[in-house]
Chains A and B, each alone.
Chain A
Amino acid sequence: MGEPASSSRNAPDLRQTVAAGGERRIELIGAWNLAALGQRLPQLRSRLAEYALDVSCSWDLTAVTVLDHAGALLLWRAWGRRRAPRLILKPEHESVFDNLAKPRELPQPPLDLWATTTALGQKVIGLLDHLFGATALLGQVMIDAAGLVRRPREIPWREISASIFRTGAQALGITAIVGFLVGVVISYLSAQQLKQFGADIYIVNLVGVSVIRELGPVLAAVLIAGRSGSAMTAQIGVMRVTEELDAMTVMGIPHTVRLVLPRMIALAISMPFLVLWTNVIAILGGMLAAQTELNIDYRFFLSRLPEVVPIANLWLGLGKSLVFGAVIALIACHFGLRIKPNTESLGAGTTQSVVIAITTVIIVDAIFAVMFADVGIIK
């Protein structure tokens, strides 16, 4: 039974002695293993290098208690990658040095002069690939949806309802807080400007149109893209890592029907409701600020709202949000399905998914703004 703790306690060291004949000898003592070398390593390395300069001296390793590869390697390198000419060591340590003598080279990857150009090209191809892939996924979902219309028994109701609960009901809190604060801020800042012109009652127009037509849908969409979109990507991505996606494929369950379609439908359903909710809370916040800043009565605010904000704005906002919901889910699933089975890809995919989803929401919003420029605006 060796004395274990002692191996870490008997510190490695070396000393130079001069024998009677004038022969210099370097004696090594203690445990020369990684655990014992530890922090003393830099100091020992420099001393070894110093002693190794004198090739005539002999090395005595018989007092070394433990010698591992790291310790042997340290000596080996000090001796200039060969055995010291006069070396005395314990027979059991012989094999450690024999092992070191074998050459080991890490194969170097060939130098690629075109690396930058190739990388740029790959980026462009990657972008096109994503566009193509997302379009193909959308097409596949459409085909599957058409198939499900003919076979309504196969519609994945459970997945849809679970998704609605996760993306809709559980998001009520965060959208309410953000909606309320934005409503208050918009109303307060507008009030400061309107006061100067004595146009106090136009606060209703400003808050009403901006919240119902633009801010409500876009705010909710951005929040949901960050909250539910990232969750969807990560969830599907982890399914790739754990081979669940492959398991579904071999069971003949298409990913689009069970994973993508339910999420798109669920988000397309829950988004308009979330937007409605955000609108209500944001207008509530706006009313509160209008009351305190401009002394506009709640009842007046509410009675004037339908007069100055045509109902078309609400339908436009809700219609947009439906599209936003479907787009966010599609992008989240697209990136989720493309995740490779490693942690880095999972992180990168989730980030990309959120960034692309938010950007796409803004682009779609701009398209809507151009298309419906004449709808619901009182001139």
Chain B
Amino acid sequence: MTEHVVEIEGLWTRFGRQVVHRGIDLKIERGEVLSLVGGSGSGKTVLLRQMLGLETPRRGRVRVLGEDLHACEPGVLQELRNRWGVLFQQGALFSSLPVFDNVALPLRELRVLDEGVIQELVLMKLEMVGIEFRHASKLPAEISGGMVKRVALARALALEPELLFLDEPTSGLDPDRSESFVTLVEELRRELNLTVVMVTHDLDTLVALSSRIAVLFDGRLVVVGTLREVVHSEHPFIVNFFLGERGRRALEAVWDTLGLGKNASRGKP
């Protein structure tokens, strides 16, 4: 039996008169890194929020780790929420808590661990994301944007989740940090058999991490597949996104494996 970590069936989302999603079907398998791609305002983040149960679908079903988010018991939902980690776009650290307490919060909320264990686990997570311990007592307002992002990742990983949601994980990071972030996620994925769902604009991250890519356009998923399958699609948005000037540069390293022919070919093979 192949179990899907996330299963979306016929999802419609509407805000007032604005229809964001028009019938989305998506299945995410265990251990894969699925990237959601699309233009600004195409509803990527909203789709991610649907998977987190932060929005209510107008029509359709969202199942995460086998549970229907809108039809399960509150207790089940709570357990489910301890099995995933979320990295929000702006980090969403609690601004009145120091870095240490931000990461410790989900561990403390379990109410079974003693303070000594919590401290060691927190320090381990901070080390994992490359935050020096002397920053642990600082407030989120006192550290840089890139550090906020890494602390937020440490918090998302605090409960050692099976499923990790990343919303624009590398935006606001310098190239070096982006690179180490990509390596980190890749390592974690292998070590913890993590499934990652990621919304990103960053082509380099996309190419480096994704095992599959889902392209959102005009409220629908136009293509879902590996990078190779996606770049062979003839949808105008995809041609623009992947085979434009920036896209070509990002794809340069893997160009030969994609079977797109020589660089000279404009757009399609």
Contacts and interface: CB of A to CB of B under 8 A. Distances in A.
A104 B123 contact: yes
Interface string A337-356: 00011111000000000000
A153 to B, nearest CB: 38
A33 B160 contact: yes
Most buried by B among A5, A95, A99: A5
B192 interface: yes
25 contacts: A1-B2, A1-B29, A3-B3, A4-B30, A4-B162, A5-B3, A33-B160, A38-B110, A41-B112, A42-B112, A69-B124, A69-B160, A70-B113, A70-B117, A73-B117, A73-B124, A77-B116, A77-B117, A95-B191, A107-B136, A342-B96, A342-B139, A342-B141, A343-B94, A343-B95
A38 B191 CA distance: 21
A34 interface: yes
B172 to A, nearest CB: 14
Given A4-B3, A5-B65, A34 B133 contact: no
Interface in B90-140: 94-96, 100, 110, 112-113, 116-117, 119-121, 123-124, 127, 133-134, 136-137, 139-140
A41 B113 contact: yes
Given A34-B110, A70-B160, A5 B31 contact: no
B42 interface: no
A102 B66 CA distance: 38
Contacts of B121: 69-70, 73
Given A73-B121, A100-B124, A342-B140, 10 more contacts: A1-B3, A1-B29, A1-B30, A2-B193, A4-B3, A37-B112, A69-B121, A104-B133, A106-B100, A106-B133
A114 to B, nearest CB: 19
B56 interface: no
B83 interface: yes
Interface string B133-153: 110110111000000000000
Nearest to B126: A104
Contacts of A8: 83
A39 B75 CA distance: 14
A104 B95 CA distance: 25
B137 to A, nearest CB: 7
A104 B124 contact: yes
Interface of A: 1-5, 7-8, 33-35, 37-39, 41-42, 68-70, 73-74, 77, 95, 99-100, 102, 104-107, 109, 340-344
Contacts of B83: 8, 35
Contact of A107 (B29, B31, B96, B134): B134
Interface in B183-227: 191-193
Given A4-B5, A99-B124, A344 B134 contact: no
A74 B120 CA distance: 11
Contacts of B124: 69, 73, 99-100, 104
A35 to B, nearest CB: 6
Contact of A4 (B65, B117, B133, B137): B65
A35 B117 contact: no
A240 to B, nearest CB: 11
Contacts of A102: 127
Given A2-B30, A342-B95, A35 B120 contact: no
A34 B83 CA distance: 9
B217 to A, nearest CB: 30
B117 A343 contact: no
B24 interface: no
A361 B167 CA distance: 48
Contacts of A33: 160
Nearest to B117: A73
B77 interface: no
B249 to A, nearest CB: 32
Contacts of B133: 104-107
A314 B125 CA distance: 68
Contacts of A34: 82, 110, 159-160
A340 B141 CA distance: 9
Contact of B119 (A95, A99, A106, A343): A106
A107 B123 CA distance: 11
Nearest to B82: A35
Nearest to A41: B112
B118 to A, nearest CB: 10
